[in-house]
């Protein structure tokens, strides 16, 4: 008899709650789990645990809570701090998915005798005859698709991952299922921003939890001309225009940083566009290596549209050559490669 036991990550929100309901309807044996990641975060508090446990109780399924605060600090928060200390802009959800939801949780699933893990992400897994392997794909949710933040999961795990929300097109469909089934979380608001920075003030978080402190320096243009003063490199992001505190004959944008000189480099908008970029920390899901130049589509931010490009791998790095120059490509963010709806893989954008 096929093992239908599945460990479901539950945040206490409507997506993971409806996922539990759907798994049960589809004949799986779901076990709910909530990971304690960071005290006081938007996804780890007493209400979160109670909401998840109450949903599990109403569906008649077990629920476990695991304390993962040390691992979360090591793999997610320390990476977040290190990125800002080195003038990069991190995406902590990607690290959390790799190490916590699809790392720690899979280990627990095996201990509990589960053959699968599941989450409420909007993404899809299926077996591809064309590629002869299990693949990660975009969901049907359009702008809410979350395949971008899943590129870094282990490829051997894909066949053991279920995304119950893969075929839904919008959140209202999910809420309607919750209402029809009397789930108390049906109208619970979505969690936004970074879970461990619930007030959205990442600058204050960095100052309170690391050695990063305000340190004034120069704002310069590409020629090194001093145009003003900044309040600390971590306070600025590539592409930023507002809040620079400088007046100039044309609008200026943050182009990058010189960490050694403690400088913010600014320039005109056309200087933000780049046609080539290098990525590292590669994770390929669809192939084992890229042996020759490939035509793909690339996303360089969660909210950006895909752009046509060619990619070439050289050892542990991939070079992306875009058909059209792309705006505000940011070191620390992820570049994710797609072939149609399938995630080929991705990597972290390197400082140029």
Chain position carrying tokens 């759907």: 22
CATH topology of domain 214-267: SH3 type barrels. (2.30.30)
Identify the three-state secondary structure at position 219. Answer: strand
Every domain range in the chain assigned CATH 3.40.50.620:
5-180
Among residues 202, 239, 236, 242, which one has the least CA distance to residue 216? 236
Among residues 304, 283, 335, 339, which one has the least CA distance to residue 145? 304
Among residues 156, 97, 100, which one has the least CA distance to residue 121? 97
Instruction: Verify whether residue 87 is a known catalytic residue.
Output: no
Every domain range in the chain assigned CATH 2.40.30.10:
273-349
Helices 46-59 and 14-25 pack at an angle, to 10 degrees, of 20
Identify the three-state secondary structure at position 284. Answer: strand
Cβ atoms of residues 191 and 43 within 8 Å: yes
DSSP one-letter string for 84-113: HHTT----HHHHHIIIIIIIIHHHHHHHTT
Low-confidence ranges of the chain (pLDDT < 70): 1, 40-44, 192, 351-352
The number of beta carbons lying within 10 Å of the beta carbon of residue 104 is 19
**Predicted local confidence at residue 199, as pLDDT:** 84
Sign of CA dihedral 172, 176, 9, 198: positive
Torsion of the alpha carbons at 280, 281, 284 and 287, rounded to the nearest 10? 60
Per-residue DSSP letter, 149: G
Q: How many helices (H) and strands (E) does the chain have?
A: 8, 17
Dmax over Cα atoms in the chain, in whole Å? 73
Kindly report the CATH number that applies to the domain delimited by 5-180.
3.40.50.620
123: its two tokens: 């993404």
**Predicted local confidence at residue 41, as pLDDT:** 67
Sign of CA dihedral 307, 308, 314, 316: positive
Question: Across the beta sheet with 263-267, what order do the strands follow?
Answer: 226-230, 217-221, 263-267, 253-258
pTM above 0.85, yes or no: yes
d(C-alpha 244, C-alpha 253), whole Å? 8
Among residues 275, 270, 234, which one has the least CA distance to residue 252? 270
Catalytic residue among 83, 87, 96, 114: 96
**Predicted local confidence at residue 42, as pLDDT:** 62
Instruction: Verify whether residue 83 is a known catalytic residue.
Output: no
Catalytic residue among 43, 87, 93, 195: 195
Cβ atoms of residues 5 and 114 within 8 Å: yes
What percentage of the chain's residues is helix, strand, coil (to nearest 5)? 30, 30, 40
Identify the three-state secondary structure at position 23. Answer: helix
Cβ atoms of residues 327 and 314 within 8 Å: no
Note the pLDDT tens digit of each residue in 228-279: 999 999 999 999 999 999 989 999 999 999 999 999 999 999 999 999 999 9
DSSP H or E segment with residue 78 = helix 78-85
CATH topology of domain 273-349: Elongation Factor Tu (Ef-tu); domain 3 (2.40.30)
């Amino acid at each position: 008899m096929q093992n239908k036991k599945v460990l479901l990550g539950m945040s206490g929100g409507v997506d993971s709650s409806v996922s539990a309901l759907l798994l049960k309807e589809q004949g799986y044996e779901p076990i709910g789990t909530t990971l304690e990641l960071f005290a006081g975060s938007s996804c780890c508090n007493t209400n979160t645990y109670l909401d998840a446990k109450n949903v599990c109780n109403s569906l008649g399924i077990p629920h476990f809570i695991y304390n993962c605060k040390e691992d979360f600090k090591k793999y997610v928060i320390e990476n977040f701090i290190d990125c800002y200390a080195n003038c990069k802009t991190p995406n902590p959800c990607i690290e959390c998915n790799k190490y916590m939801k699809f790392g720690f949780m899979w280990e627990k699933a095996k201990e509990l005798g589960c053959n699968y893990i599941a989450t409420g992400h909007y993404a899809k897994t299926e077996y591809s005859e064309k590629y002869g392997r299990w693949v990660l794909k975009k969901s049907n949710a359009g702008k809410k698709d979350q395949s971008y933040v899943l590129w870094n999961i282990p490829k051997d795990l894909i066949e053991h991952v279920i995304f119950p929300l893969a075929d839904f097109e919008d959140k209202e469909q999910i809420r309607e299922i919750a209402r029809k089934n009397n789930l108390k979380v049906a109208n619970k608001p979505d969690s936004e921003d970074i879970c461990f920075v619930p007030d959205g003030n990442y600058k204050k978080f960095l100052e309170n939890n690391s050695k990063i402190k305000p340190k004034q320096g120069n704002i310069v243009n590409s020629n090194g001309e001093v145009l003003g003063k900044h309040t600390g490199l971590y306070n600025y992001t590539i592409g930023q225009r507002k809040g620079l505190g400088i007046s100039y004959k044309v609008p200026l944008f943050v182009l990058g940083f010189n960490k050694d000189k403690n400088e913010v480099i600014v320039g005109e908008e056309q200087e933000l566009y780049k046609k080539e970029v290098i990525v590292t920390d590669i994770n390929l899901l669809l192939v084992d290596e890229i042996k020759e130049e490939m035509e793909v589509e690339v996303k360089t931010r969660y909210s950006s549209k895909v752009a046509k490009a060619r990619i070439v791998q050289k050892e542990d790095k991939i070079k992306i050559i875009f058909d059209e120059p792309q705006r505000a490509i940011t070191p620390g963010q992820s570049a994710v490669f797609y072939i149609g709806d399938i995630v080929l893989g991705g990597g972290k954008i390197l400082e140029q």
